[in-house]
Amino acid sequence: MGVSKTSKATIFLGFLWLNLFQSVVGRFVVEKNSLRVVSPDVIKGTYDSAIGNFGIPQYGGSIPGTVVYPKENRKGCRNFEDSGTSFKSKSGAMPTFVLVDRGDCFFALKVWNAQNAGAAAVLVADDVDERLITMDSPEADGSSAKYIENITIPSALIEKSFAEKLKKVVNAGEMVNVNLDWREAVPHPDDRVEYELWTSSNDECGFKCDMLMKYVKDFKGAAQILEKGGYTQFTPHYITWYCPQAFTVSKQCKSQCINHGRYCAPDPEQDFSSGYEGKDVVVENLRQLCVFKVANETNKPWVWWDYVTDFQIRCPMKEKKYNKECADTVIKSLGLDSRKIEKCMGDPNADEDNPVLKEEQDAQASFFIFP
């Protein structure tokens, strides 16, 4: 998405597989000219910001305010009230925008802390010089998921250079009036909500795999209803990585990768000598991606949910059924075109890119950006 203007909000649900923890992910959408500084003149103008999707009211809107940069707890990772700081604006005064620094904790926690202290909006100052990119804020545990749903104030990531100007003016005691506009950052009423699900077909990694499978099973019903009703548009994703060039002929790479080291997954049992190998997981992940592609082409993307849950039940590693033969019976039972799926999968032994997995790796690169 880059810095291009986008009018669609994308929500993420599900698991961040690379991190191997359950995560609820909030996404920031980059908006051009979404933050306007009204005064003082030295920094007057419009600036880009990446607006967080939590806390944005369902309708679009804009909010004026004055910027405060707290004297302590500048990253906003701790409760502001513990240090007696309040951002509640006196009646008749402009709402308070709290400026906090990026780092040390998740975006959502900063916003939650500021909200509890009375802030009307939060600006997070980037700490590296970079173009604002679409940002995701993964949450590591269930406790954060609880407060995310209670965040009601908007938040936005701003560029480091702009943040420094802001701080300078605020620290000089000037009153900075701004206006944050997120009208373009929420889905339009006639738009579908888009979301992405990061998953894996691996069913033998203990607790984490069990959690993922349970999640997919539990969520399937609702996901299919929403998709069939045209309320959502989802895309499943699978993580792979590549073997460093120097190691492509090593035993590890050969057992974990397909397409000559281009797409790899860890050995499910972490034991190279027995059971399934990483490449078995990559191949099944690829099959599931192709199931989605083929199902989506026939305008029935929700069949993916049937495939992955059926495959889990019928073809588990434990019963030594995690293979093509078993997958084919599931494909057949769902009336999917197996030739199309095979064509999509290509030749895993070929020394060439697989377009489907290549696209996944590219998506991954822009996805794993951490607070």
Ligand X SMILES: *[C@@H]1O[C@H](CO)[C@@H](O)[C@H](O)[C@H]1NC(C)=O
Binding site for ligand X (CB under 6 A): 146-147, 150, 235, 293, 296, 301
CB 247 to ligand X: min, Å = 31
**How far is residue 43's CA from residue 174's CA, in Å, rounded to a whole number?**
11
Minimum CB distance to ligand X smaller for 293 or for 321 = 293
DSSP string for residues in 124-159: EEPSS-------EEEE-SHHHHHHHTT--S-EEEE-
Greatest Cα-to-Cα distance within the chain, rounded to the nearest angstrom: 71
Burial class of residue 351, CB neighbours in 10 A (0-12, 13-18, 19+): exposed
CB 151 to ligand X: min, Å = 10
Minimum CB distance to ligand X smaller for 250 or for 296 = 296
CB 296 to ligand X: min, Å = 4
CB 250 to ligand X: min, Å = 33
**How far is residue 59's CA from residue 46's CA, in Å, rounded to a whole number?**
22
Contacts of 265 (CB under 8 A, 6+ apart): 200, 202, 239, 240, 256, 278, 279, 281, 282, 285
Backbone dihedral angles phi then psi of residue 308, each to the nearest 5 degrees:
-65, -35
**How far is residue 58's CA from residue 30's CA, in Å, rounded to a whole number?**
17
CB 205 to ligand X: min, Å = 26
CB 143 to ligand X: min, Å = 8
Minimum CB distance to ligand X smaller for 186 or for 291 = 291
Which tokens belong to 20?
A: 């191997």
Minimum CB distance to ligand X smaller for 147 or for 247 = 147
H or E element: which one contains 46?
strand 45-52
Minimum CB distance to ligand X smaller for 130 or for 191 = 191
Best CA proximity match to 166, nearest among 94, 74, 271? 74
Minimum CB distance to ligand X smaller for 72 or for 190 = 190
Minimum CB distance to ligand X smaller for 30 or for 109 = 109
- Is residue 45 within 8 Å of 36, Cβ to Cβ? yes
CB 297 to ligand X: min, Å = 7
Contacts of 98 (CB under 8 A, 6+ apart): 67, 68, 69, 70, 76, 87, 114, 117, 119, 121, 122, 123
